[in-house]
C-alpha cells in the first residue's frame, strides 16, 4: 500500500473506529478533534504538520461541507473519505481539488457482495429492505437524546442515519423513478427527529421496492429480501448469512472487514466505493422522500 499517512477529522464513535481500522492497516494516523485526545485542533494544522495522503471526515453530518471546504483551502490533493451521508441537505455538485468517496461500507459487507453476485443479470420483481435498532442501544453510556443521531441540526433522523439502505438500493437496482413515504417522529424515544419511516419506490431494475427504517426495533435487524423469477433471496447482515429459497449459508464476516475493504478501495479510488455523484444521488432521494412524507404524495426526480 503506497498511502502511509492519514488524518481522521472527528473523534466520536465512528471517527475513533476509522482511526483504529486505519492503524490496523498499517497507516500512521493523526486526528483532529475538539475533544480531549485529538492530535490537532484544526484541519489546517493537521495537514501542515502530518502531510497526509488520505483524509477521513467523520464529524457530524451538518459539518461535512465546511470541513471539505476547509480541507480544500489547505491545498490538499490526495484522497478523501467522508462519513455517510455526504451532507445534511442536497447541494449542487461541488468541485474539490481532491478525490472524494463516501463511507457506505455496506457495499463491502461479504453478505452484500454475495447478494450482488446472485442478482447479477437477473430480473428482479420485488425488494423488501428492513433496518431497525433501538437508538438507546447505539452508544452505551451516552444519553441517546444528546447524540447527533437524535438532533435535527446535526443531521440526525433515520433517513440520514440509516441511508445505507438507500445507497445499496441505488447501487443494486439503479435510478429511482418515484417515491412515496409514511412515518415520522413517534415520540417513543423522546426525540424530535423522524424515528421511523417506510418508503415505496419504483426503481429501474426493481418495479416494487419497500424500505423500512426505524430507531425502535428492540431486536436489531438489517436485512434485504428479493424475489426474482424462481428464487427468493434474503441477505441478513446482522446474522451474516445468505438464504436462498429457505436454505441458509453462513458467510464469515469479521466486524471491521467492510471498513478495511472500503478504506483500501477509497485510497485507490477503486470500485465499488461510493463516488461523489452517487452520494449526491442518495441526498436527492432523501430530499424527495422528505417531500413525499410532507405532501403525502408520490414524488419523482
Span 115-130, pLDDT tens digits: 999 999 999 999 999 9
Residue 250's Cβ-count burial label (10 Å; 0-12, 13-18, 19+) is exposed
Q: Does residue 291 lie within any of the structural domains?
A: yes
Task: State the pLDDT at residue 154.
Answer: 66
Q: DSSP strand E in the chain: where? A: 5-9, 28-32, 54-57, 79-82, 99-102, 124-132, 176-184, 196-203, 208-214, 221-228, 232-236, 241-244, 247-250, 274-275
Contact between 164 and 108 (Cβ < 8 Å): no
DSSP 3-state assignment of 28?
Answer: strand
For residue 251, which phi and psi values (nearest 5 degrees)? -120, 110
The verdict on 232 and 192 lying in the same domain is yes
Q: Give residue 119's region: left, alpha or beta (phi > 0; psi -120 to 50).
A: alpha
Q: Does residue 158 lie within any of the structural domains?
A: yes
Q: To the nearest whole percent, how much of the chain has pLDDT over 70?
A: 98
Contact between 209 and 169 (Cβ < 8 Å): yes
Residue that is last in its domain, among 102, 117, 135: 102
85 upstream amide cis, omega within 30 of 0: yes
Give the range of the structural domain holding residue 34, as residue numbers without chain letter: 5-102
Residue 89: band (very low, low, confident or very high) from pLDDT cuts 50, 70, 90: confident
Contact between 33 and 11 (Cβ < 8 Å): yes
Cβ atoms within 10 Å of 272's Cβ, excluding its own: 17
> The domain that contains 12 carries what CATH number?
3.40.50.720
Each residue's pLDDT tens digit, 63-76? 999 999 999 999 99
Q: What's the whole-number mean pLDDT along residues 79-105?
A: 92
The verdict on 170 and 66 lying in the same domain is no
The verdict on 68 and 142 lying in the same domain is no
Mean pLDDT over the full length of the chain: 94
Task: State the pLDDT at residue 145.
Answer: 85
Distance CA 27, CA 231 (A): 43
Amino acid at each position: 500500500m503506497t498511502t502511509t499517512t492519514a488524518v481522521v477529522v472527528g473523534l466520536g464513535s465512528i471517527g475513533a473506529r476509522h482511526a483504529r481500522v486505519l492503524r490496523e492497516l498499517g497507516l500512521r494516523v493523526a486526528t483532529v478533534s475538539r475533544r480531549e485526545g485529538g492530535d490537532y485542533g484544526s484541519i489546517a494544522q493537521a495537514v501542515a504538520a502530518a502531510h497526509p495522503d488520505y483524509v477521513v471526515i467523520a464529524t457530524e453530518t451538518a459539518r461535512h461541507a465546511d470541513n471539505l471546504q476547509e480541507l480544500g483551502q489547505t491545498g490538499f490533493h490526495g484522497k478523501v473519505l467522508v462519513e455517510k451521508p455526504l451532507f445534511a441537505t442536497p447541494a449542487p455538485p461541488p468541485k474539490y481539488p481532491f478525490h472524494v468517496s463516501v463511507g457506505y461500507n455496506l457495499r463491502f459487507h461479504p453478505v452484500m457482495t454475495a447478494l450482488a453476485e446472485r442478482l447479477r443479470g437477473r430480473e428482479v420483481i420485488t425488494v423488501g429492505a428492513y433496518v431497525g435498532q433501538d437508538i438507546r442501544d447505539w452508544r452505551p453510556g451516552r444519553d441517546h437524546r444528546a447524540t447527533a443521531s437524535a438532533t435535527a441540526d446535526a443531521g440526525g433522523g433515520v433517513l440520514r442515519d440509516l441511508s445505507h439502505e438507500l445507497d445499496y438500493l441505488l447501487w443494486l437496482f439503479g435510478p429511482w423513478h418515484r417515491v412515496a413515504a409514511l412515518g415520522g417522529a413517534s415520540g417513543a424515544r423522546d426525540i424530535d427527529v423522524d424515528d421511523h419511516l417506510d418508503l415505496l419506490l419504483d426503481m429501474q431494475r426493481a418495479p416494487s421496492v419497500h424500505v423500512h427504517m426505524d430507531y425502535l426495533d428492540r431486536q436489531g435487524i438489517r436485512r434485504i429480501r428479493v424475489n426474482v423469477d424462481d428464487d427468493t433471496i434474503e441477505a441478513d447482515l446482522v446474522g451474516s448469512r445468505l438464504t436462498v429459497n429457505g436454505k441458509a449459508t453462513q458467510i464469515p464476516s469479521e466486524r471491521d472487514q467492510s471498513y478495511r475493504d472500503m478504506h483500501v478501495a477509497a485510497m485507490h479510488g477503486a470500485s465499488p466505493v461510493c463516488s461523489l455523484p452517487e452520494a449526491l444521488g442518495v441526498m436527492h432521494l432523501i430530499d424527495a422522500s422528505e417531500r413525499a412524507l410532507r405532501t403525502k404524495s408520490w414524488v419523482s426526480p
